[in-house]
Structure formats: C-alpha cells, structure tokens
Amino acid sequence: MAGAVCSGIFFNITGNRSPSFIQNHYKLGKMVDGSLILNNFECIFLYYKNRIEPVNPHYRKSLNLLHELLRDDGETELYIVYEILKTRGLYVKRESNMLFARKTPNGKLMGPIIVRRENSVTDFHYLHSNAPAYYFTLDEDGDITAFLVTEEEIAGRNNEKIPLHIDTERVGGRIVTDRRDIPAWYGQPFKDLRILSDFESGYHRSDSTEGFLNRIYSDLIDRRFIVKSGFKYGAHFRAYAENIGDHAEFLIHYLEGPEEWYKISRAVRVANGVRKRMIFCGYMNDRLMFVEIKRIRDPFREQDDAVEPTTPG
C-alpha cells in the first residue's frame, strides 16, 4: 500500500488505511501516483494523530521531525493555530506566513489569519495593508486572544462651528481666550475665560500642521468630530460623533512606528471596558487612514462576533 511523502520524508500510513482515506477524512494533502503528498503542517498534524509513521527511525523521535519541518521563526505558533482550526473540522490552507480557512470545500474563505506572540511587533502600514484580517495572538502561557482588524473611514455629525481665528493670550504658560462664541465643549472653562489645550490652540495657528498629532486633531475636527484628550484611557484622543453629552464613541491612537502587540491588546481591552471603539490611525502616502481593532470571541462561530476573549482572563 502506498504511503505519504512530506519534504522528502517517507511515511507509512497506520491502521491499515489507504492514502485516499486519510485525504478525504482529514481534508488535507493531494494524491499523486497513489501517494499522499503533504505539506509540513499537514504532516505534523497527521503524525500527532498517529495516522502516519516515518519510515526512517530517526524521524520517529518527534523532536527530530519538528526540527526538520518547522525551520522558520513563527512557524511553531502558526502550526498551533493551524491544528486548532483543523481539529474543528475546517479546511485550512497556508499561504506564506498566513492561514485561510473555510467550513466546506466551496464555502466562504475566511482570512487572512495572522498569528502573533504577545511580544511581537507590528506597525500601522502592516495592519492597514492586510485589513480585513484576523489576528490570533498567543501569550506566553499558550492562551489565544483573537482580534479582527478592519479598515475604517470614520466621520462625525457635529454641526457646531469653531471660529477660524481666535484672539488668545499666554497666561501662566497656557493659552487662554475670552472669546464667547465658541462651542461649550471647546477648551476648559476657567472663571470667565477658556483655557485651550495644545491641540485646540494649535488648530488656530498657521503652524498647526506641524507635528503628526496636531495634524490628526485638525483632521478629526474637519471630519466633524468633537475631539478631546484620550489620556485617561491611554489613547491620544477620544472622539464624539455628535454630542459631548453622550459617551465618546471612539478612542483614537496614532501609531507612528512599530508597536508591541501586548500594548495594542491593552488598548483594545480598555476601549472594550468603557464601551468605545478602538481606532488606530497612521499616514500612508501622506493621507490619514484608520483601522479598527476589536477582540472577537471566535470568527468561525455562527453568531455575530462578540468582544470576548477566546480563553478565560
């Protein structure tokens, strides 16, 4: 009876089963001249299912086999997620360092699924360029938290106009105005005056585009948001779509360079806890772009995504 082949390693099929039975039952591999041809992940999956056994005794020690089949950084974590998906009966394929899955042979292909460790880093360009995408993040205990990253084009509905020119004075190191015809949410009341934040005062200066955060603030105001500090939530801004009397719908944070995944997870968790959408922004071709990141229960369940972890905690 023909066996299986993976990366030049030959395997016998156990249990008196045929290669075609293994292919059909586990939804993997391809038949070539009566043999089952496997990729590295498929091979490991069947090896630990005790469905195949290496002909060469050297590879019957799992450490030797894994050393041969998992050579690149990140492949161990990628295989862990692959096995979870396969155990659920999904059709899973690997493309480079990403996974894609579907429930039936002709079903909707879900992905990419990108696997990260808690101390991995990413940047805005990568997040935006691969959106929409699922991110499965493994912590050092092996638990998985799933995220969904989507590109967003956000806009507010605030109709209150901010005067383009406001007379201000510097008092005690702060920018202060006695202008009365500005929105109630603009600035911080101080007696009969208003203390403007650095972003608010910068909005009226000719150099207001200096610095990325000033540019982002001005862009959000022009998008008709009410924009306030996001400091107490660990973000750059919080944004109200229409009325500051309501809760802010968004936390917005600028990703200037590489960021660690545990910090992104922390920001998303905080946003979830205060019922806000976590938006990350960045510049691509000098244009401000946005992605939303939210925690999801499980992308392969029938019900709608919910902001819950895949494991307790």
pLDDT above 90 (res 309): no
Alpha helices in the chain (DSSP H): 19-26, 40-48, 62-69, 75-87, 124-129, 198-202, 212-222, 261-273
Per-residue model confidence (pLDDT) at position 126:
97
**Which residue shows structure tokens 């959000």?**
220
The pLDDT, as a whole number, for residue 204 is: 79
Does residue 240 have an active-site annotation? yes
Question: Which member of 86, 128, 228, 276 is catalytic?
Answer: 276
Strands 4-6 vs 35-37: parallel, antiparallel or unpaired: parallel
Q: Which residues pair with 170 in a beta bridge?
A: 175
80-98 burial by CB neighbour count: b if 16+ within 10 A, else e?
ebbbebbeeebbbbbeeeb
State the amino acid at position 142 in one-letter form: G
> What are the residues facing 11 on neighbouring strands?
4, 54
pLDDT tens digit sequence for 217-233: 999 999 999 999 999 99
Is 262 an active-site residue? Answer: no
Task: Give residue 313's pLDDT.
Answer: 36
**47, 79 contact by CB (below 8 A):** no
| Angle (CA) 206 212 216, round 5° | 85
| Mean predicted lDDT score pLDDT of the chain | 90
pLDDT band at 209 (very low <50, low <70, confident <90, very high): low
CA neighbor of 148 nearest in space, from 184, 177, 117, 110: 110
| 112 prior amide bond cis, ω within 30 | yes
Percent of the chain with pLDDT over 90: 80
- Per-residue pLDDT at 2: 75
Over residues 79-122, the pLDDT tens digits come to 999 999 999 889 999 999 999 999 888 888 889 999 999 999 99
pLDDT tens digit string along 113-127?
999 999 999 999 999
pLDDT over 80 (residue 11):
yes
Grade residue 161 by pLDDT with cuts at 50, 70 and 90: confident
Select which of 47, 186, 240, 253 is catalytic: 240
Please pick, among 247, 253, 262, 294, the residue that the annotation labels catalytic: 247
Compute the Cα dihedral for 220, 224, 225, 229 and give only its sign: positive
**Residue reference for tokens 């499965």:** 136
Q: Domain locations in the chain?
A: 4-69
Q: Which two tokens stand for residue 113?
A: 């699924």
Catalytic (active site) residue 247 = yes
pTM reported for the whole predicted model: 0.87
HSE, side-chain direction, 13 A CA sphere, residue 112: 15
